[in-house]
Structures are given as C-alpha cells and as structure tokens.
Amino acid sequence: MLTARDNELLTATGPGTPMGQLMRRYWIPAFFSSELPEPDCPPVRVKLLNESLVAFRATDGQVGLLGQHCPHRGASLFFGRNEECGLRCVYHGWKFDVTGQCIDMPNEPPESNFKHKIRTTAYPCVERGGLVWTYMGPPHLQPGLPALEWAVVPESHRYGSVRLQQCNWFQAMEGGIDSSHISFLHRGDGTAKIASRLTADTAPKFEIVDTDYGFMIGARRDVEAERSYWRITQWLMPWYTMIPRAGDDVPIGAHAWVPVDDESCLAYSIEWHPDRPLSDQEMEKSRTWNYIHAENIPGSHRTVLNKDNDYLIDRALQKSGRSFTGIKGIGMQDAAIQESMGPIFDRGQEHLGTSDTAIITVRRYLLRVLKEMEEGKDPPGLNPASQRVRSAGFMLPRGVPFLEAADDYIRCKEAVYGGSP
C-alpha cells in the first residue's frame, strides 16, 4: 500500500518534481527515427515528462527537439517551415537551429543583433537502435549513451513498436515486473511448454537481487518433483523491463515505459535476438499483434483496441478457455488491465500479498533513490556498461539458488558491443 504522498512522488514527472528530476538524468527514448524519415520533412509533436516539444530533422540530417512555443509570441513551432538547417516559425519568420539558437529574425532591421540574444528550449538528441533519444537534464551531468543490447544489435536483429497507454508510467511499468500475473492474464497466449510451467505453479516464490542498474527478479515455480522453473526479469533504472525468454534461441522482449504526462505514457515494445536476424515467422508474429506489440490507429500512437471499445473483448473466446481474457495480444491484455485502474489508482486501496514482492521492492527502491538524490547522491544505472544484461528463463534442480546459474544466461556477449569492455 502506498500513501497518497508517495504515490504522487512516483507518478508526477513534470519539471521540478523529484521523479521528473530523476528521469531527466537519463537518456530518454523520445520517438522512432522513422517518424522523421528524411531531412526537411514535416516536424512532429513530442510530449515527454509533461513538456510539449517539437522535433525536426534538419537539412544536414541532425535531429532537433525544441520547446513547442516560439519565444517571440508563443506560436507553435509544429506549424513551422523545416528548411535550410532550421525550423522557421510561420508567424513572424524567426528561425531556430537544432541547438535552439535563433539564426534568423527577418522582421527585425538588418543591423539588429537581437537574434543572437534569443534561444529557445532545446534538448540534445542521438539516434541509436532505431530510436531518437534525448537528454533533458543538466548538461554537465549528461551520462554516456544507452548500451542496452537491443539498442546496439543490427537493425535486422530487432523489431520495435510504441503505443500510447492511458495511465501513469509507474502503473504500467509495475505490470512489467509482475511475474505472478503471467499465469492468469496471458493464459492461452504462450508456447505450450512454457504455458504448462506457468500454470503448474500459479503462486511463484520471489527472490530479489539488488544490482548497479536496478534489480533482478527471480520468480521460482516448482513445476517438477526435482526441478524448478525460474523466470528472471530485469528492471533497469528508470523505466526498462525485460521479459524472461521462453527458450534459448527465441527473441528477447523488453519494454520502456516513458511518461508523456502524469496520466499517460509511451510503452515501447522491443524484440531482439543478439546472435541472428529475426526470422520471417518471428516478424510475422510481431506484426500481427499477437505478442507484446499492438496495432495503432494510423497516424497516431493510440491503439485500435482501446478503452472506448472495451478492447474488442471477445466473451465467447474468453468462455471457450482458449484465452483467459478474450482480448487479443499480450500487449493489449496488459494495457487493458493497467488502464482499467484509471489514470492514477489510489494505492491506499490495495491489499498486497507475497506475490507482490517485486512491486513492493521497486516502490521502496525508487522512493529511497529520490531521497538519496535530495541528499546529493547520484542515482544508480547511469553507467551504460551496467545495461549489458538480459532476462532469462531456465530449469534448475530444486534448492539450487538461481544466481548460481544466472550469469550464463543474463550477461550480454561482448561481441555485440564490438568486444569493448
């Protein structure tokens, strides 16, 4: 159970809020590079951590991310002209480069130096793993670039999507670390072998290991007389979760839960294979929305299945037992339940049990990190090298600690990073 104050601390991400300040210390997935497909293409609206922004790809290919409002009279730069290495406001012609510097002010006399004194909000951007990332924190504290495995593998090894989720980021992210719900919510949607293990023991026992990037969640299911099935979920600061693999040669799944504002977030869903391109069959599975991805309404990040149409729940399918929910796709099953709680659920109404160990741990962890930041301590997970981990799923003899076997499964191969340390 969370107090109203603690719930607000975890969900409020605007400028000046404790969680907002924490998140601004990390590189933030802002949007897919494909949303700005070519130089001088139309700009796009972006909203992150309660800040309204406009992104554009300049003539030289660089990506700029500026405050939405022109500092002259407040007109939206979304309507601007993207031309000659700058975004020009159509109201009076003021033009800004990717650094936010005003580089042209045609409604002022030629001899005026006023343009040199005007800057607008601008955040640095880099492209990696098919995404544009931005850093919104203090420039002198900017960390190294993201080193998540899915962000550095070749494009052919990766598939990604994004959807708008209409609840706060923390409420959504908690679903990514809740191994207990897999036995119920997604029943009927896994491979037969893994599904049988998840339903054979629906009350997993949890072990949590603190790490330099967040923590590792081990969920043990005693599915055989002599052996246990372990699902190892990774949680990386501040919003990344990794789904345990269903086999040694299948793609790994991951999410990033990035706040748009206090009541909605962008749910990035990534699948990747560290050693080979994704097969046609694997790509087809992703593109038909049967796994963690979701189909969006064309031209938006809002899903076709949404709360206004009850996620097109099929009660006959639900009743048949072939789907526990009657909702198509694991990603949409998660979204439906998380959104059903409302934008910000009153956590004072909860009744948590032993299966909620990971949920309780992450709440305490983040509240502790916020307190330590207030005392001047750096948050964990800023070193990109700490992100070189994977999730896993494996069988072990009963009584063997999962850490004895985990290293062989969770450590990324240095070859993925070109052999660099």
Residue 192: pLDDT band with limits 50, 70, 90: very low
Nearest to residue 65, comparing CAs of 129, 120, 105, 25? 120
CA distance 417 to 236: 19
- Could you give the 3-state DSSP secondary structure of residue 233? strand
Is residue 106's pLDDT more than 60? yes
Tokens of 344: 């910000």
Residue 64: pLDDT band with limits 50, 70, 90: very high
Residue 404, Cβ neighbours under 10 Å: how many? 9
What are the DSSP E strand ranges found in 68-222? 81-82, 87-88, 95-96, 102-104, 122-123, 125-128, 131-135, 158-165, 205-210, 214-221
For position 182, what pLDDT does the model report? 78
- Which residues lie below 8 Å from residue 155, measured CB to CB, with a gap of 6+? 130
Sort 33 into a burial class: Cβ within 10 Å, 0-12 / 13-18 / 19+.
middle
Name the least confident of 52-61, 250-259, 348-357: 348-357
Tokens of 31: 């949007």
For position 407, what pLDDT does the model report? 86
Structure confidence by residue, pLDDT tens digits, 329-372? 999 999 999 999 999 999 999 999 888 888 999 999 999 999 99
Domains annotated for the chain, with CATH where assigned, are 31-141 (2.102.10.10), 149-417 (3.90.380.10)
Query: How large is the average pLDDT for residues 130-142?
Result: 98
- Which residues lie below 8 Å from residue 314, measured CB to CB, with a gap of 6+? 323, 326, 327, 328
Query: How large is the average pLDDT for residues 188-204?
Result: 64
- Asked if residue 266 lies in contact with residue 169, where contact means CB atoms within 8 angstroms, the answer is no
CA distance 263 to 169: 8
Give 400's DSSP letter.
-
- Asked if residue 392 lies in contact with residue 409, where contact means CB atoms within 8 angstroms, the answer is yes
Q: Which residue has the tokens 């004194």?
A: 117
Tokens of 1: 């159970």
Nearest to residue 129, comparing CAs of 97, 145, 113, 153? 153
Percent of the chain with pLDDT over 70: 96
Nearest to residue 36, comparing CAs of 62, 8, 9? 62
For position 197, what pLDDT does the model report? 65
Is residue 190's pLDDT more than 60? no
CA distance 234 to 244: 8
Structure confidence by residue, pLDDT tens digits, 382-415? 999 999 999 999 899 998 888 888 888 888 988 7
Residue 91, Cβ neighbours under 10 Å: how many? 16
Angle value at C-alpha 144, between 143 and 148, nearest 5 degrees:
115
For position 173, what pLDDT does the model report? 95
Structure confidence by residue, pLDDT tens digits, 21-36? 999 999 999 999 999 9
- Which residues lie below 8 Å from residue 148, measured CB to CB, with a gap of 6+? 129, 236, 240, 254, 387
For position 415, what pLDDT does the model report? 78
For position 308, what pLDDT does the model report? 97
